[in-house]
Amino acid sequence: MVDYDVQTPDFLSGCVLKKKTSSPFPEDPWHVYLLECADGTFYCGVSKDLRRRLEQHNGDLPGGAKYTAGRRPVRVLASRLFGCKGDALRFEMKVKSCPRMEKLELFGPAGQALKENA
């Protein structure tokens, strides 16, 4: 098995995983996700449990955001994994500060493919 030295993108300066691991993903990752609401708007958020959070946003479980409550159903367009909450929150803020089409680019190839089909 190949060992990966898990690092964070350049614009993230907080929590960098320095241990060697057999997987490029942390054991207990933070997800930064981009949702598309029924009205076509985007919502970006952070969670350790993406499935549970999606159920909350869709009203299946209590605790979803006010923004998505009136825009259901929502679906996950893209997500990225981070090793610590600080890095995930910094990436979320970067996504929220970008124009709509640039948000998709930040999520890598999957987001780029969605942008091209938009």
Structural domain spans, the chain: 30-116
Model confidence, pTM: 0.76
Which CATH number is 30-116 given? 3.40.1440
Going 44 to 67 to 74 to 49, the CA torsion angle's sign is: positive
Which pLDDT value is given to residue 36?
A: 94
- At position 96, the amino acid (one-letter code) is K
- What φ, ψ does residue 15 adopt, rounded to 5°? -85, 110
61-96 pLDDT, tens digit each:
999 899 999 999 999 999 999 999 999 999 999 999
Instruction: Tell me how far apart the alpha carbons of residues 5 and 7 are, in angstroms, rounded to a whole number.
Output: 6
Confidence at residue 111, expressed as pLDDT on a 0 to 100 scale: 56
pLDDT at 108: 79
